[in-house]
Structure 1
Amino acid sequence: MICTEQLRITPIQHGDAHILRFEVCDPERGWRTVLSHRAVNKHRPWEKDEGTSVEDLEVAPSSGGSAAVFTEIADHGANGLIRRGEIGEHGIVERITVESANRLRVEVRDRLTRSGVLLARLMNHYYFMPDGRAMGYALPLDFAWLPGLHDNEEHVAGEWFFRSPCAIVFAHGVYAAILPNLDRMQEHPDLPHALDLRAWHHPGSGETYGLPRISYGICRWKPDGHVLTARDDAAPVSGTEITYGFDLLIGTGEGPESIVAQVTELLWDKYGSRYLKDIRPQVMPFEEYGKRYTYKHELKLWAKPVSCGIRKGYGIDNTLRRGVNYHAWENDFQAGFGLMHYGRKWEDDHLSSIAEGMIHLRLSSPRRDGAFPCVYNVDTASWEGAMYWTSWPAHPIDGYDLQSMGVTAWWMLYWYEQYPDLERGSEVLNWIIDFCRFLVDAQLPSGAIPTYFDARLNPAPQLKEDAPTAIGGAVLAKTARIVGDPEMERAAVKAGAFMNREIVPRMKFQDFELFYSCAPRPLYWVDPLNGIPPVNTLAVQWAVDHFLALYQLTEEGQWLRQGEYCLGLLSLFQQVWAPNRFGKAYLFGGFGVMSCDGEWNDGRQSRMVPTYADYYLATGKIEYLERAVAASRSAFAAMDMEENHANGINDYRVTMAEQVQV
């Protein structure tokens, strides 16, 4: 038995086996069960007979069953337990050690009788049972997190999603979280791993009803669709020993904020800060990427002059996306920000003229009551509403997209603040003010700002009251601070209240990319096994920016606290390690996209840098600065250039068995 002031682990006899119950000490309620390997159920409350479900360590395939395999148990040091068991060709030892007040280290070692043993899964399972209760007591979970979601019961979160891997559950004031030991994974890159969180079985299915279960371990998986991962058939294991480990966090809490902070801080302290000490994937000073490659070669190919009356405009002509983009994905004001910076630093008039030309082109576009189109088609010399496949709910040619307009205006604000001597700075600000007037007029009584509008500015029903509100709220808040406009301030705060009430508690960080891009989900889809909604990083980032802008506008600490919580959620998508299973590529620092797609080092990591840097400036927390640096370094990792190839930076390897295209 383990018993500290905060934790208690009690062995339970189950036949010949020893299973465990995990409890925490609640300051107000005493000892409370959080996790257990056994659940007692009744189909009818008046019946005396009880059904017992047991899940501990799963060994598959196994002819002997694997509900409870540990037949020996003993103390392991002052605050540890060791369990041993044999099943088939497996001799398994599990060690549990107290690491801190609410953290346990779990290590599993499986000694096989021979090389070539077939294995599909070797996984630890835990029922999440607040107060020892099953039968739906913990559902719906107050908070749940899994890096990859399910469409059906065969799906698991394979390590393809292990950027900042964890499974988290929270209900009735208690929580549990599993964090895989990434160092152990690096030692055995040939072994596939998976996390899981599932909570649903029909009452008549014969399975455990209404009982969340978190899991981690060795699990054969395969890609299924774009992009989920499903359990795969058994395959022979080379060698005669398997090891893996994880941190198990259990405790009490008032909400998910402290839990997410604890998880992200642990992942960064344990892995991220160490990987940051290796300067890779950066291979040269940041400005040299521009001098030697981007500005020297790519800019010549893509930057196109555009006539803007008496002025010469410029734009990056993205021919695959219908021209110059001021979109939530690619946006000329992001690229132009760097052009302006280095044009001035290097006294390069050509770079500066391109950056200034981007302003000229943007300010030349038509507007309707402050709303503006976000794609300039160079071939037809005409403006289009937004990227067509991401804005079908509005008319893609003549309609308007809050997400693209908001991101554009947000970057224009960076320009206005960082380059106060812009030739057309006052016009840039007036443009943003007009857009803010549109946002104020478009805001709904709920505080939400619709995402899509038709040519007459009628809002579309899709995503009408959803997370893209935040990018509009962010622009309103920052502009209100600059110009001192009380109407904008009221609208920004009202949008923040909507986000606090409707989006953040429900984890509804959803935008165009979840529903209208390459990995679409049906509108308002949730994971059918655990109720987790799909989450996209852009929507989270907009909330993060919105809350910080509100804090800087109002100086009310609640907005900063909410912003840091959302920043923690965003951090769960950042790659805190460089898994060697995927080749020599140093994948540290980059970002994925969403909880139901498979990107590593997506293009958005460069867009995350200002957000983390802004929070560092607001709080002084060094982790935010380190994450910003890591994201910035990773933004150059995919460049097709000699130095990256020579250092293996983008030498990705994906096995044929995984069948995943990078």
Structure 2
Amino acid sequence: MKNSKLLVLSVCSIFLFSCSMENKDSKKLFNQFIKEIEIGQLGSAHVKHNIKKISEGLFKVNVGVELSEDIEQKGWAVKVHPNFKGTFHWAPHLTPTEQHIISDHVFRAPALIHSSSEKLITIIPDLNVRAESDYRWYMDLDAEQNCLIIGISDYFVDDHVLFKKSDLTTFREGKMELSFYIMLDKDKDAVENPWRRPLAFMWKKYGEILADKGEPLNAPIKPYIDHTYNWAFNTWKDAVWQEFKLNGKKVGAPAFIVNITQSPNYPDLVDEREMRSIWNQGWFNSLRSAQGLFRYGRKIQNEDLIEKAKMTKELALSFPQNEGFFPAVIATEMEQVEIAGRKYNRSKGWDTYYFGNSNRNPYSDELKDSPLHILDMSCTSTFMLSWYEELERDERLLHYAINYADNLLKLQDTQGFFPGWLDNKTLKPLPILAKSPETAKSITFLLKLFNLTGENRYKNAALNAMKALNDKIIPEGRWEDFETYWSCSRWGSKEYVGKKIKRNNMFKQNSLSIYWTAEALLSCYEITKEEKYLLLGQRTLDELLMNQAVWQPPYMYVNVFGGFGVMNADGEWNDSRQALFSELIIKYGKILNNEEYIQRGIASLKASFSMMYCAENLKAKKQWEAVYPYFDEKDYGFMMENYGHGGYANKVGGGIGSFTIYDWGNGAASEAYNRIVDHDGEEFFNVK
């Protein structure tokens, strides 16, 4: 059956369904924000609709229909038309054309935001109604046409990862309901931080209930930590732990990545997924994970584990510096080995080692040829300082970091930015992302170094860099970093770097650079005690939290509540970055005396373990065994970095991956737990 005409309802006609005289003020407020609402027709069925005032500036819209027969058409939607032009917009996913949609696959904390300097409209799907629906919901943001959309449609994945409406969706005979909230704000604080009110609303309505139950884990965290280290240094030791000599010193660290073919239970031959290597960069950092191992070994009095952690420290100090700058990766040569007519990827061993840099960059796919990355060096140097400050007063760590910092300062431009990449031979800055939020990590590093040395030049450079981010990055949400364009989601890397997607009035955005900026702003506040940094830090943190799952969708088959997504053009749930984020969220909660943040931080850390293959995670265990039936107790601790990466998940293991990155998975999550326990005590996780 063909689409019928859209039913256009004026604001006044909508309110005829709430005839009480006390609604006059509500009608007046609504008219100040909303021009009209369009409700799509489903065949010839009568569409019922109702708007109810929940509280001041908060309304709930219900649209329902009862079909007497099955209907096929290209989706069904409700369109909200504001009566003012928006200058700022936000949505959880990009929809560069009218065929694209924001599938409910990425409904973590779903909202559409449309604001000017004086008014703010927020649309939030009713997740309780969605949880009971058999249909796939979607949203869309058309900034060019001044339109906010929520609807129902089947979808398919386009590129990596955007979503498009299917040509036809079957609407089955019977009742169907679509429900959402509309928030209207004129308050200056709400306009300046458009995420705070919807975040608080969604957490109170959905997240707090789950957090109070201890979700997303059904067991204490400690057993997951034990599984991690038993997996890495016992049952999977032959594949994970890498130990060799470098410049006469014994060094070691877990391998960058291992896959299911390296399981002691795998019935076939090993086929390594990528080059055998060890990374110290913005994602995968062996020095960060080693601090967690050190803390764990110290607590259980295991000298062997402490020694392994120290070997990783020695490895980091062995990365050669050139005018203070240093590589991020050490790797072995690889080869293709043919056995019984099949080729397998194998390492030639650590005798063939070489240094290089992350190949997630716009210049080269080869580690050897990739440029030096300022972000990676600032991350590793920050971890050197935290090791020096909290674990061992090894002066070599401080001297290494100072050597880097003194050369880093020479690269700061007149606006305050640090460049993205340096040519690995000439050490000259390269042009791409020369003015980006990656600068934030260098701010945190320099302020930490100022704390340890008292040298004002580090503080002054950091505060100057923060001014650049405040002026050029934060106001328009330009969250572009290396992962935004040069990881697995490369959509837009040719045409959109530094440019907004016009239809959405948004940049392609990545959550890592939002995190680094919120972290840097908190560091600025702790150094200066100036309130402006704390307020802007909270705003930035709230933008980050729009990537955190506030509910447990019925169409996700592992526990995802509390976990984080990656960016507005990818499909992950429960991404490992959530372990990195957790303590920062908790810190903001303590400083702001906000229990919501503390609950969110704890849920974020717990979600870091909910993908682990082990007896404690019954739902995840079932999914793993559906794909890899040979897994058993020897594989406890194996953990994919995220879930549903490709834009889909199903009951039989769809969305489950095939590898573990220790430094961006179980090892990183365990480090975060061990660090927070050292700072706050183990009982912190048991207090509501």
Please identify, of 585-594 and 275-284, the stretch whose mean Cα deviation from structure 2 is larger: 275-284
- 1:241 is aligned to 175
- 1:168 matched to 2:113: yes
Which residue of structure 1 lines up, in the alignment, with residue 357 of structure 2? Answer: 386
CA distance in structure 2 between the aligned counterparts of 1:23 and 1:175, rounded to whole angstroms: 21
Distance, in Å, in 2 between the alignment partners of 1:615 and 1:337 is: 23
Which of 397, 409, 422 is 2:381 aligned to? 409
Q: Relative CO higher for 1 or 2, CA cutoff 8 Å, sep ≥ 6?
A: 2
Change (3 A) 1:394 1:192: closer
Distance in 2, Cα, partners of 1:412 & 1:548: 20
Which residue of structure 2 lines up, in the alignment, with residue 437 of structure 1? 406
* Among candidates 202, 216, 219, match of residue 281 of structure 1: 216
Render the CA deviation track for 1:371-424: whole Å, top value 9, x for unaligned: 2111112535545342123362698536310121122223333333332xx152
Structure with the bigger percentage of helix: 2
Change (3 A) 1:660 1:625: closer
Distance in 1 (CA, whole Å) between partners of 2:507 and 2:654 is 26
Paired AA for residue 220 in structure 2: P
- Pick from 198, 202, 224: which aligns with 1:267? 202
Q: Which among 94, 101, 112 is matched to residue 56 of structure 2?
A: 101
- CA–CA distance in structure 2, aligned partners of residues 575 and 394 of structure 1: 33
Q: After the TM superposition, which segments of 4 or more aligned residues of structure 1 sit over 6 Å from their partners?
A: 22-25, 29-32, 658-662
| Cα distance in 1 for residues equivalent to 2:448 and 2:352 | 33
| Residue number in structure 2 paired with 1:57 | 39
- How far is 1:476 from its partner? 1.1
Match of 1:574 among 539, 542, 548: 548
1:591 maps to 564
In structure 2, what is the Cα distance between the partners aligned to 1:13 and 1:309? 76
- Worse-matched range after superposition: 452-461 or 250-259: 250-259
Higher fraction of strand: 1
Question: Contact 1:637 / 1:650 at 8 angstroms: preserved in 2?
Answer: no
Q: Residue 500 of structure 2 aligns to which amino acid in structure 1?
A: V
2:598 is the counterpart of 1:625: yes
Q: Which residue of 2 aligns with 1:545?
A: 519
Cα distance in 2 between the residues matched to 1:292 and 1:368:
39
Match of 2:284 among 326, 330, 334: 330
Match of 1:365 in 2: 319
1:539, distance to aligned residue in structure 2 (A): 0.7
Cα distance between partner residues in 1 of 2:523 and 2:275? 31
What's the secondary structure of 1:549's corresponding residue? helix
Q: Does the aligned pair in 2 maintain the 1:385–1:401 contact within 8 Å?
A: no
- For 1:176 and 1:124, locate their aligned partners in 2 and report how far apart those are by CA, in whole Å: 15
Alignment of 1:638 onto 2:611: yes
Q: Which runs of 5+ in 2 are unaligned?
A: 1-9, 258-273, 333-349, 625-643, 658-688
Give the secondary-structure state (helix, strand or coil) at the position aligned to 1:107. Answer: strand
After superposition, what is the alpha-carbon deviation per residue over 1:571-590, rounded to whole angstroms, capped at 9, x for unaligned?
0111111111233x211111
Kept in 2, the 8 Å contact 1:586–1:650? The answer is: no
SS in 2 for 1:259: coil
Q: Deviations over 1:517-541 (max 9, x none)?
A: 1111222343231221111011111
The yes-or-no answer on 1:654 pairing with 2:649 is: yes
In structure 2, do the counterparts of structure 1 residues 285 and 440 end up closer, same or farther at CA, with 3 Å as the change threshold?
Answer: same
Deviation sequence 1:332-363 (CA, Å, 0-9, x none): 12211210111010001111111111111111
Could you tell me how far 1:648 is from its partner in structure 2?
Answer: 5.8
**SS across alignment from 1:11:** helix
Deviations 1:542-583 (A, max 9, x none): 101110111111111111111111100110111111111233
- Shifted more, 233-242 versus 527-536: the winner is 233-242
Q: State the secondary structure of the residue aligned to 2:446.
A: helix
Measure the CA separation in 2 of the matches of 1:587 and 1:354. Answer: 32
Alignment-derived partner of residue 252 in structure 1:
186
Judging changes above 3 Å, is the alpha-carbon distance between structure 1 residues 299 and 184 closer, same or farther for their aligned structure 2 residues? farther
Distance verdict in 2 for CA 1:659–1:635, change over 3 Å: closer
Q: What one-letter code is carried by the residue in structure 1 that aligns with 2:373?
A: D
Is the 2:88–2:505 Cα contact (8 Å) retained in structure 1? no
Alignment match, 2:575: 602
- Is contact 1:281–1:649 with CA below 8 Å preserved after alignment? no
Match of 1:198 in 2: 142
Structure 2 counterpart of 1:327, which letter?
Q
Distance 1:542 1:198, change over 3 A: same
Q: How does 1:114-263 map to 2 (within 5 A)?
A: 114=69, 116-130=70-84, 138=85, 141-188=86-133, 190-200=134-144, 211-254=145-188, 256-263=191-198
How big is each residue's C-alpha offset from its partner over 1:56-78, in whole Å with a ceiling of 9 and x where there is no partner?
11235x4xxxxxxxxxxxxxxxx
Could you state the TM-score of these two structures normalised by the residue count of structure 1?
A: 0.81
Contact 1:474–1:492 under 8 Å retained in 2: yes
**Shift in Å, 1:23:** 11
168-177 or 394-403, which deviates more: 394-403
1:216 to 1:321, Cα distance in 2 relative to 1, 3 A? farther
Q: Single out whichever of 404-413 and 177-186 deviates more from structure 2.
A: 404-413
Aligned partners of 1:471 and 1:396: how far apart in 2?
A: 22
Residues 435 and 619 from structure 1, CA distance in 2 versus in 1: closer, same or farther, beyond 3 angstroms?
farther
Q: Partner residue of 2:368?
A: 397
1:616 to 579, 584, 589: 589
Give the SS at the match of 2:616.
helix
1:435 Cα shift? 2.2
Match of residue 331 from structure 2:
377
C-alpha distance in 2 between matches for 1:13 and 1:588: 35
Distance in 1 (CA, whole Å) between partners of 2:183 and 2:314 is 54
SS at match of 2:33: strand
Question: In the alignment, which residue of structure 2 is the partner of 1:69?
Answer: none
2:156 aligns to what SS in structure 1? strand
Aligned 1:505-544 pairs, distance under 5 A? 505-520=475-490, 521-522=492-493, 523-544=497-518
- Evaluate the alpha carbon distance shift between residue 265 and residue 212 of structure 1 in structure 2; reply closer, same or farther with a 3 A threshold: same
| Structure 1 residue 34, shift from structure 2 partner | 1.6
State the partner residue of 1:92.
Answer: 47
Structure 1, 315-324 or 594-603: larger mean CA deviation: 315-324
Structure 2: distance between partners of 1:166 and 1:10: 21
Please state whether the residue corresponding to 1:110 is helix, strand or coil: strand
Cα-Cα RMSD: 2.9
Q: 2:254 maps to which residue?
A: 316
Between the aligned partners of 2:539 and 2:522, the Cα distance in structure 1 is 11
Pairing partner for 2:440 from 446, 465, 470 = 470
Deviation at 1:150, TM superposition (A): 1.9
1:287 deviation in Å? 2.7
Matched residue, 1:11: 12
Alpha carbons 2:613, 2:621 under 8 Å: kept: no
| 1:451 corresponding residue in structure 2 | 420
> Secondary structure of the equivalent of 2:571?
coil
Q: Partners in 2 of 1:272 and 1:428 — Cα distance?
A: 41
One-letter code aligned to 1:590: G
